[in-house]
Amino acid sequence: MSTNGKPLSGLLAAFILAVLIAAMFLAVRLVPPGWNFIGVMLLMLIFMITIGITITGRPAGILINERNLMSLSRLQLVLWTLVILSAYLTIALERIRVRSIADALAIALDQRLWALMGISTASLIGSPLIQTNKKLQDPKPEAVEKASAALNESTDEINKNSQGLLYSNGGIKDAAFSDMFEGDEVGNTAYVDVAKVQMFFFTMVAGLSYGTELFYWIASKPAADLTAFPILSGGLVAILGISHAGFLVNNSTTHTPTK
Q: What is the pLDDT of residues 187-197, one digit of tens each?
A: 999 999 998 99
| 132 and 119 Cβ atoms separated by less than 8 Å | no
Q: What integer best gives the mean pLDDT of the chain?
A: 90
Q: Is residue 259 part of a domain?
A: no
Tens-place pLDDT, residues 102-120: 788 889 988 888 888 888 8
Work out the number of other CB atoms within 10 angstroms of the CB of residue 72: 25
Q: Establish if 257 belongs to a structural domain.
A: no
- Tell me the mean pLDDT in the region 206-222: 94
Q: What is the pTM of this model?
A: 0.88
Residue 222's SS3 state is: coil
Max alpha carbon distance in the chain (Å)?
71
Distance CA 199, CA 207 (A): 12
Question: What are the tens digits of pLDDT across the range 163-180?
Answer: 999 999 999 999 999 999
Full domain range(s) for residue 23: 10-252
Is residue 45 a part of any domain in this protein? yes
Which letter, b or e, does each residue of 93-111 get, where b requires 16 or more Cβ atoms within 10 Å of its Cβ? Answer: bbbeeeeebeebeeeeeee
For the chain, the domain total comes to 1
On whether residue 2 sits in a domain, the answer given is no
- pLDDT of 4 higher than 60: no
